[in-house]
Copies of this chain bind each other. A is one copy, B any other.
Amino acid sequence: MEKYFEVLCMCPLFRDIAHWELTKALRCLNARVFSFEKGEAVMNESEPAKYVGIVLTGSFQIVRTDFFGNRSMIANLVPGELFGESFACAGVEVVPVSVLASEAAEVMLIDCLKISHSCSNACQFHQQMIDNLLQIVAAKNLVLHQKIEVTSKRTTHEKLMAYLMLQAKQFGSLEFEIPYDRQELADYLEVERSGLSAEIGKLRRQGVIEADRNRFKIYKPFDV
């Protein structure tokens, strides 16, 4: 188990848990490691959600299937990343996605109830893990909420301004860098890249913003 410690330490679920406690913690949680060949499923749609998964080696894909069987890729998971925590915590009876190994890969599965329910031994790390889990799920919540707030605007102009002003507010300055290139920003705002570039160009000519690659500067508020 020790060979996975490096990747486990990167996992937010174990944040602030001492290295020496990890062995005890994993035993107490009844954490188990499973190996998968390419294409095998860790979780299948319509199974009840019970486990939190942590990618140890290799990579996995989260896939969703709609009513008619059409599949779409939701995300790609690499070592250290967590999955299934929202489904397990929400106690959904049917997982809406499948998690498939995209190559030979290993995963650690932990029964979510083992995390949230303190064990009879009153292990110290339990409290920290509950805090971590709550923190992870709540933080994801805020990120999603923020994205909805921006993308619920109807025009590219409004979306862009809403996004930039949110960044300005968070950064505490009207001059800041964003973590996306043009294509990624367009994907985030749910608009066309070319339309986004056109809008940025327009705002630049109007003197509303300055934009160089991922560095932005807002000069004055237009309509919000």
Contact = CB atoms under 8 A, between A and B. Distances in A.
A3 B147 CA distance: 40
Interface stretch (A24-32, A34-42, A85-93): A85-93
A131 B145 CA distance: 22
Contact of A154 (B149, B190, B221): B190
A147 B86 CA distance: 15
A116 interface: yes
A224 interface: yes
Q: How many copies does the complex hold?
A: 2
Given A117-B127, A134-B89, A168-B67, A141 B144 contact: yes
A151 B189 CA distance: 11
B118 A85 contact: no
A94 to B, nearest CB: 9
- If over half of A's interface residues share one DSSP class (helix, strand or loop), that class is named, otherwise mixed; here it is helix
A11 to B, nearest CB: 17
A156 to B, nearest CB: 12
Given A89-B135, A90-B139, A148-B148, 6 more contacts: A70-B221, A70-B224, A140-B141, A144-B144, A151-B152, A151-B190
Interface pairs A-B: 6 shortest CB-CB: A89-B138, A90-B138, A144-B144, A90-B139, A67-B169, A68-B221
